[in-house]
Structure 1
Amino acid sequence: MIERFQNIINKTILTCVAIFATTVFLLMLVFYYQNFLFENSHNVIIAIAFIILVLVLGYGLTRIKTDDRILNWLILITMLLVFMITAIFWISKVPSVQLSDFGNFWDRLLDYKVGDPLYQTDNDYFSKYAYQSGYFVYVLGVSRIFGYHIFAVQFLNVVYQALILLFTYLLVVKVFDNIKMARLSVLILMVDLDWFALNSVASNQYLGSLFYLITLYLLMQNKLKYYILAGITLTGGCLIRPIGPVIIAGIVVYAVIYLLMKKHDFHATLKVLLALVIYFALFSMASWGIKASNINAYGLTNNDPEWKFVTGLNYQSNGTYSPDMDKLIDPSNTRAQMSKVEKKQLHKEIVYLNENHAWLRLFLHKTQVLWSSRTMATDFANIKMMHNDATVARVDFLAYVGSIILIVFSFIGSLQLFRSKFNDNLYLLLLPLMAFAVVQLLIEVQGRYRIEFLPVIAIVGGVGFYQVLHIFSSIRLRQKKGVPLNQTL
């Protein structure tokens, strides 16, 4: 009875992932049709050539034997070196100007002195979003060590990206025990320009993503010392990129369902609890430190929770940042006054959605923006400052082709998971992804917000890529008489 119930839970989670991946796939087709299909005849040629190249590279990676541990590491290190060299070349070709929120971090550092508050009023950026102080302290530390040179931040971003690729590889091996699949997951993530293009800006997404991946990997080791380290890395992730609640939600659900209910492993459940206690203790200490240093009197809190929902539930802007919504903000007012304005506007947004039965349409639009469209990473890299419109358009499209590859293979992979062999650790990756996808239905979205979870998407995509190559290999071998099908891949 218990086993049957557990099987139902497993199938339910996989079904949710499949529905999510299918929706993203279909919305990607709509986005491509509306934005690229008739824009430029060269786009089709570029897309086909790029996809063929990835297929050829993937096929080559699966033909290399996996029984030699040294060779496996040489292959992975070669891939990481190629990625890093390409990424550094990219950095050298884009402007160092920091736009939008990235400028908020970098530009303030020039004359900043430790102990100075980051804001003038309680309605400024760093007073409303005090949780951003964690990443500001990181950037401050980098600038103090290496000087006020954006290249230091950029280069470290590339290092973090390479480590993300490494842990993506390790997670696939841990979950599926399949080296070839791990290589394919790394490949489709490293060729996604939409994922890596933000390395030229002061973005907190790569370091945050790395901390979260390490946390999940450590939890899979099921040893006390690793649970303690997981609490520390989880704290690091939350200090840098405050999406910790969805990660924690996924971890808690995993612990309850798979450690407590399925395995009856009370010791492992208590170790997870220990990791969370360590996180809460360290995060509270860090918040106190921010206050004590006078950098931010609000610590690491969110003092404007309404705004994310006001923008996220605005149907006209598809739940994204909108200059029209920005007009609601009056910098001369206090946070208490603006909170009342925002709550009133939030009520209006909900009433509009109810009266027009627009909830589902809004959720679909937001899903497309967050998961199926361009991340806009190349826009934030500001390449239009140094290159003509034709080059910018081509780079933007090429970046999106990388996302298309990821979306297509993850769609196939989500269906293949029902037939694949893997251990329960996979759910430790899928549950935070699903939690994030659900939360983002209600709050503000941007395409780049998916960057932290693209490694998980790539892991599912690796399953799909492996299956596609397996089918191609099977067809090829069937044409050769006397070659058994079990020799494929």
Structure 2
Amino acid sequence: MIFSTRILSAAGGLFFLTIMLSSIATMAFVYDSIWKMIFALAITLGLSWMIIRWMVSRLSRKMFLAVSLSLGFALRLAWIIWNPAPPESDFLFMYNAAVEAAAGNFSFSDTPYYISFPYQFGFTMYEAAIIRLFGNHLIILKLLNVLLSVGTSVILYGLASRVFNESCGRITALAYLFYLPNIIMCSVLTNQHLSVFLFLLGCFLLLREKNAIVYWLIAGLAIGLGHLMRPIGTVYLAGIALFVLLVLWQQWRGSLKRLAAMTAGKLSGLILVYYLVQLLASTALISSGVTQHSLFEGEKYWKFMVGLNAETNGSWNMEDANYANQYAFGDERHQAELVKIKERLEDKPELAALMARKLVLMWGSTDSSPFWSLQGLNQWELEKTLQQWERPMYVLMCAFGVFSMIALWRTPGKRNEALLFMILIMLYIGAHLLIENQPRYRLDFVPVLILLQSYGVYHVFRWVRDKRPVASVERGRSIGG
């Protein structure tokens, strides 16, 4: 796995460096002053130093979890109480449909939105179940977002502690709990809170008990349910498959053929459970009369057609929407979209330039969470202030990501489980080079970025403490140890 780790750490280092530089550029635009930008970075770094030193080095494990989770929960709760923003855009479509579904009315299933995007049924039915149980109260749905967000930080703590060490687990949890977009998006009825929780839970179960097939099956269930909430489970499935194939290759070469056969069987079980979840959910929705359309139907090429539009840098646009709407849904529209895709793939230089722009815009632009969270409230000054607070946090995360990739390059055989998350982030980056681009979509994989950058934070702070190169032999489990 040494060769694979070095290839991926080199690619990861280039990625983190690229988005760090582009994020600095956008940060300079947001602040309108280089000196203000430098001051903001210095303040953020100083506060991070103090928080990490105290919470990672001085607190017991139980005390750390109690303090960090309480603060993270309190901040999120305060935000959703203060911010009464109603759902907008796709979130409004799904919320209104959920209200109807909770009342037993499923006529929305025949609307163009759900015919084109039947994968939205999963999250809609989740919201409908909550409304049926607790009544039609937005605050309940937002409170569940808070609980899921805090729960995700606990999973990240466990993952980073296993992949790297206890200190990295604490750094990851802290970064996720206090990264501003993760807080303010709790007031948005997005499917990302639940899906991220389920996807990372699947990864945690897989790595926690690699020798127990039942955990692999439960991991397949979690990832399958996550895909029902948000259709990016195939990225996780592909990432896990590639990671396990590397493990299988190592086992086979090491004459551990029986162990390799067992590992292959567990991977097959995980994939089987994942697809069974999709099939059973689709069958249940049809047989119960919720919809006549399979979850496997819907737009096949829309996201790709939009994502390859060089004039709009791969973002949603009315021109493509009007073009697609000329054709009846089904094979006619699919073929029309496919024609556009083939046209846009012909100009190879323009395609390469488009992908470079999309990489920078997707991962280096200002975060869109203030816009989504404050829609309809006319809080333009607050939106700008939140962007100014978020930028230095993200720039520092990218910088520590570079250090993390350097550390993994220099010790490629020590952190094999980090390979899973390096593969996952590369796959997700690659997917969005082809499909529709929105900065909001990076929140799906910000937890993975945070997990990977924690190793860079750990090494940099150890270097500052010890005042010698980070390649020295690791001592202790905490930054202060």
Q: What TM-score comes out, normalization by structure 2 length?
A: 0.90
Between stretches 90-99 and 103-112, larger displacement belongs to: 103-112
Give the secondary structure class of the aligned counterpart of 2:311: coil
Shift in Å, 1:39? 6.2
The structure 1 residue matched to 2:106, chosen from 116, 125, 136, is 116
Q: How does 1:202-351 map to 2 (within 5 A)?
A: 202-220=189-207, 221-222=209-210, 223-262=212-251, 264=256, 265=259, 266-330=261-325, 333-351=328-346
Aligned residue number for residue 22 of structure 1:
17
CA distance in structure 2 between the aligned counterparts of 1:442 and 1:378, rounded to whole angstroms: 26
Instruction: Please state how far the C-alpha of 1:55 moved relative to its aligned partner.
Output: 2.0
Amino acid at match of 2:98: L
**What is the CA–CA distance in structure 2 between the aligned matches of 1:32 and 1:386, rounded to whole Å?**
23
Gaps in structure 1 of 5+ consecutive residues? 1-5, 66-70, 477-484
1:383–1:392 Cα contact (<8 Å) kept: no
Deviations 1:47-91, CA, capped at 9 Å, x for gaps: 4323321122112233326xxxxx202212210110010011111
Q: 2:122 aligns with which of 126, 134, 137?
A: 134
Query: Deviation of residue 159 (structure 1)?
Result: 0.7
Matched residues, number: 465
Q: Deviation of residue 348 (structure 1)?
A: 2.9
- Post-superposition shift, 1:43? 5.4
SS of 2:312's equivalent in the other structure is coil
* 1:480 matched residue in structure 2: none
Equivalent in the alignment of 1:366: 358
Note if contact 2:27-2:37 (Cα within 8 Å) is conserved in structure 1: no
Query: 1:170 is matched with which residue?
Result: 158
Separation in 2, partners of 1:202, 1:37: 30
| Amino acid in structure 1 at the alignment position of 2:318 | P
Could you tell me how far 1:252 is from its partner in structure 2?
Answer: 0.9
Q: Offset of 1:383 from its aligned partner?
A: 5.5
Q: Distance in 2 between matches of 1:287 and 1:457?
A: 32
Q: Please, which runs of 5 or more residues in structure 2 have no aligned partner?
A: 469-473
Q: Which residue of 2 aligns with 1:186?
A: 173
CA distance in 1, matches of 2:302, 2:397: 31
Structure 1 residue 44 displacement after superposition: 5.0
User: Given that residues 13 and 401 in structure 2 are in contact (C-alpha distance below 8 angstroms), is that contact kept between their aligned partners in structure 1?
Assistant: no
The share of aligned pairs that are identical, in percent, is: 20
Find the aligned partners of 2:85 and 2:162 in 1 and give their Cα distance: 38
1:408 to 382, 399, 414: 399
Shift of the 390–44 alpha-carbon distance from structure 1 to 2, 3 Å rule, reads farther
2:388 is matched with which residue: 397, 414, 428? 397
Per-residue CA distance 1:293-316 (angstroms, 9 max, x = gap) = 222222222421211011101111
Which residue in the other structure is 1:434 paired with?
426
Tell me if structure 2 keeps the 8 A contact 1:227–1:275. Answer: yes
Cα deviation, 1:308-335, whole Å, max 9, x if unaligned, reads: 0111011111111123333324378444
CA contact (8 A) 1:371 1:450 kept: yes
Distance in 2 (CA, whole Å) between partners of 1:392 and 1:15 is 36
The answer to whether the 8 Å contact 2:149/2:193 transfers is yes
Of residues 422-431 and 36-45 in structure 1, the stretch that sits farther from structure 2 once superposed is 36-45
Question: 1:3 aligns to what?
Answer: none
- Provide the C-alpha distance between the structure 1 equivalents of 2:173 and 2:424, rounded to a whole number of angstroms: 20
Residue of structure 2 in register with 1:50 after alignment: 44
User: What is the CA deviation profile of residues 96-154 of structure 1, one whole-angstrom value per residue up to 9, with x for unaligned ones?
Assistant: 31111111111233344436243445xx1111111111111101101111111111111
Rounded to whole Å, the distance in 2 between the matches of 1:219 and 1:111 is 37
Is the CA contact 1:143–1:149 (under 8 Å) kept in the aligned structure 2?
yes
In the TM superposition, residue 236 of structure 1 has moved relative to its aligned partner by: 1.1
Whether the 8 Å CA contact 1:191–1:402 is kept in 2: the answer is: no
CA-CA distance at 1:41 after TM superposition: 7.0
Aligned partners of 1:392 and 1:206: how far apart in 2? 21
Q: Residue 198 of structure 1 is aligned with which of 175, 185, 189?
A: 185
Tell me the residue number matched to 2:471: none
Change (3 A) 1:302 1:442: farther
SS in 1 for 2:301: helix
